[in-house]
Structure 1
C-alpha cells in the first residue's frame, strides 16, 4: 500500500503548543450537548427524513433533555425550511430549548435562513460556516487566505444586519476543516468574528472547531483546541465548541480530549450517524461520563426506546456491538466472562444486604460490565447467553435466573460437558429452555420401573411404599440420612457423596445428588413439592440404575 503518500499529514496539522495542560485535566461536568441529527445526520442519509420523522426525532431529543438542538439547513431544501417554520407555528420547542439553524456565508442563503426563524420566540443560534483549510481554499473555493477571510466577514455582516436587534438571536461560526487550517489563520478569522459580532459574557459567540475529516491522532486535535482556548482574546465571551467526525474511528476520543483541552460544547449525533464514517456519538460520550460518576445531563434511562425511534427515523439499524445500546453489549458468551459476571452479581447482592441498602444504591463493581444495564433500562435476562464458547458459569447463571436452579459447582462442571457437546454439534447459541431440557434429560432420566405409592414423614423417619417392577415394598428410613439409607436398600455398592437441597422461588424443591458406583461419580436431580420428596425422587433415579437390565426413570 502506498502509505508514503500521507506521510506529511502530521506536519500539516502541527500546533505551536509545547506546554500543553490537557493531559493533566479531568472531566468533572458534562459539556453542552448539541445533537445535529436533524441537519448533519439527515444530510448523511440515503433517504433523508420526511417531516413526520423529523418531528418525531425532534420530540425525542426534547424528551431526553437536550437544551440546544440544530434543527436543519433551511436554505438547502423546502423540507428543512418548512420544518423550521413548523417548530414555531406548532410550538414544538419548550421555552428553554435553543434552536440552531445552519447556513453558508452567502447572503441569499443567509436571507432564506433568517426567513425560516422569523417569529420564533425561543433563543435562536444562526450557525454560519466556511471552509478555511488550504486544500478547500485552493480546490473548492478558488480563493486566497485574504479572500476567504473577506468572504467570512461579509457573511458575518449580513447576519448582523438581517438579525436586526432581535435579542433572542445569537451567532455561531464554524471554520470548516478547522483541524487542517493553519493555527494562526484560523485564530485570526475567529477573532474577527467575535469582534464583529461583539461577543460578551452576556451574549457569547459560539466558535465551533470541527474535525471535519479526521486526519491525526486525538492528542493532536486536543492540542489544536487548547491552542485556541489559551489564545482567544475574548475567551470569557466565547463558547468553545467541537464537532468531530469519525474517519479514523477516534471521534469519541477526539471529543473527550477536546473537552479536557477547554471545549465547553460538543456537536454530534445521538448514535453517531453522519457523513462517511459518521459524526461523534453523543450517547457513547454521555454514558462514558455516567460510567465515571459524572451526570451526563441527558436521559438515556430507556435506551432501547431511544434506539427504536432513531432507527425508525433514520431507517438505519444500530449495530449489535454499538457501545451501551447494541443488543449484545451487555451479553457474555465467553466462559471466563460469564463466570466472573455471575460471581460479581452474587457479590453485589450480598454487599447490598450487608449494608442494608438496595442494589441500585451501592457502588457498581461487577466484572466486565462498566455500568449496570438497569441504568439504561436493560434487564439482566440477556447478560449471559450460551454458545460453544461458554463455560459453566454462564450455563449456571441462565438456569438460576430463568428457572431458579442453583447447581452445585461440581455439577456445573459435569453439565458443562453435556452442553459443550450439544453446541459443538449444532454450532448455534443455546437457549435457557434448551438448557433445562438437556439438564433433565441428563440427570432426571425416564425409566418408570420404580414408583412411589405412599410417603409419610413421622418425626425423624420417612415411611414410604415403593412399587418396584410391580411389587410393593415398604421402607422406613431416617429423615437425616434419607438418601444414604434408601440407596443402601437397593445396592450396597452405591456411595452417596453429597445431597444438596434447594427451595425454588415457586416454593417447590430440588435435590442434587452426587454418588459413586463402580468407581465412577454420577449426578441425579430430583424435583418435588418438598425437600424430602425431591431427595426421594433423586434416590429413586439412582436406584433404577442398580436394577437388572438397567433402565432410567423420569424424575418429577
Structure 2
C-alpha cells in the first residue's frame, strides 16, 4: 500500500521489566468487573438510550451479576443526570453494587457530578484527563507539569466535595490515552493523584490504565501494566484496572495479558460495543475463563435473552460469528464437523464423562442457553450424514440405520443445494417422512393376520393399484412371511438386508418405528420406515414402504 512511510509507532516501551506475566499460561481467578455499557457503550450509539432503555439495560446488568456499573457522565446531559437520580431516589442500587460516574477534572463538572450522586449508598467517582504526547502537544498545548496539575487539582476537588456530600464515595483515576503516554510519566501523574487521595485498606483507589487507542501488540501493553503495578505507590491499597479498546482487534489479548501482568479489574461492555471498533467484550473474556474451568462470577447462562435485550435497547446487532454470543458460533454445517460432534456427544454419553472435551465445541452450548437441535447441527448443502442423523435422533428420536442415513443425507444435501438455503429441523423431518415413512402407493396393506405353525403364516389383505387382494404365505418369522407374500404376489426379487426397530417415545402410549432396507436384484438398496402403535405392524409398514420405493425407483 502507498503512504506506509507516513506512519510511525506511537507507543512507548515500558522501562525494562522482569516480564513475570510470561511465566503464566492462564488466568486462574476472575477480576473485578465493571460494565461501562451505560456510559462508554451508550455514547457510541447512533441513538443513545432513553431513560427507560437505560433502566432496562441496568436491571439486566444487575441480574448478570455486575457489582460495579458505570452509569454515565451526569454533568454532560440531562438524561444522564436524571438516570443517576432515578437509581438513587428509587433505591434501585443493591447494597453490594456500586454505580460509577465519569467526570473531567474541572470544578463545575465535579460539583455537578457530586450533586447527581447525593445520597448514593456506594458510588465511584471516575476522574480522568488525557496524558498522551499527542493530546498534550496538539489539544491542550501544555507541559507535563501543567497536565499533572490538572489531575492533582481534580483529585483535591473530589476530596473536598466528598467531605460535604451525603453518600459513600470511592475514587478512580484514568490517565486517558495511557498507551500513547510515556510509561514513566503515566506513573508520575498517577502517583501524584495517589498522594492526594492516600488510599487505605478501607478506602482503596482504582487506577485505570485505558487502551484509549490501541497502538501496540498486546505484550507491549502487558509490560506497561506490569511496570505500573510494580511501581505505583500504595500498591496494596490500589486496584489496577484495565479499559482496552479494540482498534487493532487486540482488546481481548490486551486484557488477558494485562491481567497476567498484575491488573485486578476490567472495564468493558457486553458484546464489545464502544467508540470506533469498540471496547473489550466482557462476555468473551468471561467465557474464555469459563472454558478453562474458572468461574467468572458473571451469569451468561442465557446468551439469547441477553442478546435480545441488548439489541432492543441499543439498536445494535450481535454479529453471527461473535465469539460465544453469535447465532452461528456453535453451528456446524460441514459434514466432517457434524460427524465429529455427533460422535463426540455419543462418546460422552457412553462413557458418562463429566469433563467437557467435544470436537469443535470449546464449551457446552447448553451452558449459555443454546440447544443442540437448533444451534449446533445446522443443515445445508455442506452437511453430512452424521450431522443429519444426529439431528434426527436428538430432535425427533429416530435412530436411523447407518446405510439409510447415508442415502438420506445425500437427499437432504441435494434439496438444500438446489434451494440455495439452510434447511430447518422441521424441513429435514418433513423430507424424511415424505421419502420413507408409511409409503402406501402403489401397495397398501389393509390387514394382516398371523397363524403359528411350523413357521409363521401371514394372511394379508392389501390394495395394489386400486385393486384389493388377499394373499397368504409362510416364513420363518412374521416379517419374513409378509415379505414372501409380497414377493410372490408382485413378482419381485429382493432380500431383506437391514431391519431395526425401537420405541419412538418413552411414554406408555409410545409408538414404534421400524426401518427396513431391501437389496434389489440389481444390487441397489431401497429403504422404508414404518411408524405404528404396534411394533409388528410398524415393521410390516416399513417393509411395504421399502417395496413401494423399490417399484417407483425401478420405473423411474
Q: TM exceeds 0.5?
A: yes
Tell whether the 8 Å contact from 1:510 to 1:525 is kept in structure 2 after alignment. no
Q: What is the rounded CA distance, in whole Å, between the counterparts of 1:487 and 1:520 in structure 2?
A: 19
Please give the alpha-carbon distance, in whole angstroms, between the structure 2 residues aligned to 1:260 and 1:518: 69
Take 2:552 and 2:216, find their aligned partners in 1: how far apart are those partners? 77
**Pairing of 1:13-412 with structure 2 (within 5 A):** 13-25=12-24, 26-120=26-120, 122-164=121-163, 168-352=168-352, 362-382=354-374, 383-412=376-405
2:474 is aligned to 476
Change (3 A) 1:254 1:495: same
Question: Residues of 1 paired with 2:172 and 2:550: CA distance?
Answer: 85
Is the Cα–Cα contact under 8 Å of residues 304 and 377 in structure 1 kept in the other structure? yes
Unaligned runs of 5+ in 2: none
What SS does structure 2 have at the residue aligned with 1:9? coil
Distance 2:316 2:347 in 1: 39
Q: Which residue of structure 2 aligns with residue 453 of structure 1?
A: 447
Q: Which runs of 5+ in 1 are unaligned?
A: 356-361
Q: 1:543 and 1:429 mapped to 2: Cα distance?
A: 31
SS at match of 1:520: coil
CA change 1:146–1:486 in 2 (3 A) is farther
In 2, Cα distance between equivalents of 1:213 and 1:31: 22
Equivalent runs, 1:519-530 vs 2, <5 Å: 519-527=522-530, 528-530=532-534
Deviations 1:102-145 (A, max 9, x none): 1011111111111111122x122111000000001111112111
Aligned residue in 1 for 2:541? 537
- Which piece of structure 1 moves more, 491-500 or 192-201? 491-500
Deviation at 1:538, TM superposition (A): 2.7
Structure 1 stretch displaced more, 482-491 or 107-116: 482-491
Q: What residue in structure 2 maps to residue 359 of structure 1?
A: none
Q: Find the aligned partners of 1:379 and 1:421 in 2 and give their Cα distance.
A: 26
- Structure 1 equivalent of residue 419 of structure 2: 426
Q: Any idea what SS the aligned residue of 2:373 has?
A: coil
Matches of 2:390 and 2:35, distance apart in 1: 39
Task: State the aligned residue count.
Answer: 542
Kept in 1, the 8 Å contact 2:449–2:459? The answer is yes
> Given the two structures, how large is their TM-score scaled by the length of structure 1?
0.92
- Separation in structure 2 between the aligned mates of residue 219 and residue 34 of structure 1, nearest angstrom: 23
Give the aligned partner of residue 508 of structure 1.
Answer: 511
Q: Note the C-alpha offset of 1:484.
A: 6.0
Task: Determine if contact 2:479/2:539 at 8 Å carries over to the other structure.
Answer: no
How many angstroms does 1:521 deviate by? 2.1
Q: Is the 8 A contact 2:105 2:129 kept in 1?
A: yes
**Which stretch of structure 1 is more off in the superposition, 512-521 or 473-482?**
473-482
Task: State the distance in 2 between where 1:458 and 1:389 align.
Answer: 50
Structure 1 residue 78 displacement after superposition: 1.1
Aligned-pair distance for 1:492?
6.8
Q: CA deviation at 1:441?
A: 3.7
Shift of 1:534: 2.2
1:398-446 alpha-carbon deviations (Å, 9 max, x no partner): 2222321111111121222212221221111112232233224433545
How far is the alpha carbon of 1:479 from its aligned partner?
2.3
Q: Report if the CA contact (8 A) 2:473-2:484 is conserved.
A: no
Deviations 1:85-110 (A, max 9, x none): 11111101011111211101111111
* Runs of 4+ with deviation above 6 angstroms: 545-552
| 1:358 paired residue number | none
C-alpha distance in 2, partners of 1:241/1:221?
13
Moved more, 510-519 or 212-221: 510-519
Report the more deviating stretch, 180-189 or 542-551.
Answer: 542-551
Structure 1 residues 71 and 493, CA gap change in structure 2 (3 angstroms): same
Whole-Å separation in 2 of the counterparts to 1:547 and 1:200: 88
User: In 2 relative to 1, CA 346–3 (structure 1 residues): closer, same or farther, beyond 3 Å?
Assistant: farther
For 1:374 and 1:545, locate their aligned partners in 2 and report how far apart those are by CA, in whole Å: 39
**What are the superposed Cα offsets for residues 178-227 of structure 1, whole Å, 9 maximum, x if unpaired?**
01100110001111111110112221111000000111111111111111
* Separation (CA, whole Å) in 2 of partners of 1:325 and 1:179: 29
Query: SS state of the match for residue 434, structure 1?
Result: helix
CA distance in 2, matches of 1:285, 1:545: 54
Q: Indicate conservation of the 8 Å contact 1:177/1:212, yes or no.
A: yes
CA RMSD of aligned residues (A): 2.3
The alignment's TM-score, normalised by the length of structure 2, stands at: 0.92
Deviation at 1:165, TM superposition (A): 6.7
Q: Distance in 2 between matches of 1:331 and 1:457?
A: 52
Q: Shift of residue 502 of structure 1?
A: 2.4
Q: 1:60 to 1:492 in 2, by over 3 A?
A: closer
**Residue in structure 2 matched with residue 466 of structure 1 by the alignment:** 461
Cα distance in structure 1, aligned partners of 2:212 and 2:303: 28
Distance 2:478 2:74 in 1: 82
Question: Which whole-Å CA distance do the structure 2 matches of 1:543 and 1:245 have between them?
Answer: 65
Residues 517 and 546 in structure 2, CA contact (< 8 A), matched pair in contact too: no
- The 1:260–1:449 alpha-carbon spacing in structure 2 relative to 1, beyond 3 Å, is same
Is the alpha carbon distance of 1:540 and 1:85 closer, same or farther for their aligned partners in structure 2, counting shifts above 3 Å?
closer
- CA distance in 1 between counterparts of 2:432 and 2:308 reads 36
Question: In 2, are the aligned partners of 1:464 and 1:474 still within 8 Å (CA)?
Answer: yes
> Post-superposition shift, 1:65?
1.4
Q: Distance in 2 between matches of 1:235 and 1:282?
A: 25
